[in-house]
Chain A
Amino acid sequence: MTRILILGAGTAGTIMANRLRRLYASDIRNDRVSITIVDQDAEHVYQPGLLFLPFGKYTPEQVVRRRARQVHHDVAYVRSHIDRVETKENAVYLTDGAVLPYDVLIVAAGTRIVPSETEGLTGPGWQQSMFDFYTLDGATKLRDKLATWRGGRMVIDIVEMPIKCPVAPLEFAFLADAFFTDRGMRDKVQITYVTPLDNAFTKPAASAELAHLLAEKRIDLVTEFSAGRVDGEKGVLSSWDEREVPFDLLVAVPVHMGAEFVSRSPGLGDEMAFVTTDPRTLQSKAAPNVFAIGDATNLPVSKAGSVAHFEAEILTENIKRFVDSKPLLPEFDGHANCFIETGHDKALLIDFNYTTEPLPGRFPLPGVGPMRLLGESRLNHLGKLAFRWVYWNVLLPGHDIPGVGPQMSMRGKKAPVI
């Protein structure tokens, strides 16, 4: 029997479990294949919803469902903390002492924020004047703060790259502008966007468009600012090169790292606990029967659900090939696709990969759309809202999205004139 073990029942792990279950449906019934998935907690959070939660647009109940319910019942669900992976033994040790042997391992354990990595961030003022919105707890507390906040200097700071959903902090800034405008208090709030990057975003063409939007919405931009420490009592954010940004309300995107068990697993991850992974095949560098997907990898791609979805199609094929002793297909191209909320019920859509930056055009049908690439529209916003349904009903069950392939397409895009 081939034992497939998946670590993590978030977006990537759940998609993989359901895709492999469908692929091996009859083998599972005949005891030739088993699929087991492990997660440390019971709640699956729809993470794109965390962006809207602080502004009261979603409730916590609307973004949370039970993890086990998202996985087909032919997949064994184990709820436990993971101690470590021993790739030489083909075994995963759980913290309760149990050992899970495997023939194929998929690490889909995601990434987590570690605010304690920044001096002062979890000190006085944490969750009073300094918040995150990358956790359900953080986003909910920030919502309560914003509901009664009278205004002042709001600073949105990306402490360090990489982060999950790299456009989310920008979207937060745009939505904050709209939120305060709607409440008639925009003139009482100064919004500053602080980033370690040299521009609003990592990709030049999209950066220009996004920097333009920031200026239009009167959001100040501070670039190349690497936060070294925070003083919550004085309300000062300081960079390593001694620049200071004062704040009354800090919305921090803290340092991201991979799952803790990755650091305890010999040879599995890098110093940030991300699994060292082949960028094209998604096979880990640790062992040929170990694969990684989604936010858990060290790949230079966005840590985002769309990426996990595109990777899943390729990884399913590669796992099948591995089990059948065939060569892997080096097919993943770094494809990512994100909606960027720009406030007032509009959004931008971007589509890019390892080598091609986001370009203007129409998506997914060339020339027709209906979505506009790299341009604001109301339909893009509706697309983002509709995506919550798509997430639970199409993405997690592991279905394909019509018209959107795993590899990026140049169709319908306007290539830059060089």
Chain B
Amino acid sequence: MSTTLLTYRDLALDAEGFLQKPEQWTEEIAHEIAGENGIAELTEKHWKVVRFMRAKYLETGAAPTIRTLGKDSGVAIKELYQLFPKGPAKLAAKIGGIPKPHGCI
């Protein structure tokens, strides 16, 4: 357990724990990040969102917004907030191993 945690913490992270190199991400690391952020277990619904998020980022270079998640991920916005409390787009990005979405500027 502590060795896996060390693995996640050994990666290039930003100040808030977002992976800086998406290619270093693994499913084990996703579990670690989820655990650290108060999600005890990643359900199939969580994975659906995380995989969608990651695929979109790798395809377009930008993390999808909460609106896109609600429209295209197959999980409604309200449920997204139940799955990923507070900030679904941010938390799903973190678990999916992609940089923090800027929400633009």
Contact = CB atoms under 8 A, between A and B. Distances in A.
Contact of B102 (A160, A202, A271): A202
Interface string A125-136: 000000000000
Given A161-B103, A301-B105, 7 more contacts: A160-B67, A198-B87, A202-B103, A240-B78, A241-B81, A241-B85, A272-B68
Interface string A273-303: 0001000000000000000000000101111
A196 B103 contact: yes
B72 interface: yes
A197 interface: yes
Nearest to A271: B68
A240 B105 CA distance: 22
Contacts of B20: none
A301 B102 CA distance: 10
Interface string B69-100: 00110000110111001110010000000000
A56 interface: no
Q: Is the interface of B mostly helix, strand, loop or mixed?
A: helix
B66 interface: yes
Given A161-B65, A228-B78, A300-B62, A166 B87 contact: no
A336 interface: yes
Contacts of A197: 103
Nearest to B100: A198
B104 interface: yes
Contact of A300 (B77, B80, B82, B104): B104
- Number of chain A interface residues as a range: 20 to 34
Interface in B8-60: 60
Contact of A160 (B65, B81, B87): B65
A151 interface: no
Nearest to A279: B61
B103 A302 contact: no
A162 interface: yes
A262 interface: no
Contacts of B68: 271-272
Contacts of B87: 198, 224, 226
A302 to B, nearest CB: 5
A241 to B, nearest CB: 4
A302 B104 CA distance: 7
Contact of B104 (A161, A198, A276, A352): A161
A203 interface: yes
A226 B102 contact: no
B105 A160 contact: no
A298 B81 contact: no
Contact of B77 (A203, A240, A298): A240
A298 B62 contact: yes
A16 interface: no
A270 B67 CA distance: 12
A255 interface: yes
A202 B81 contact: no
Contacts of B77: 228, 240
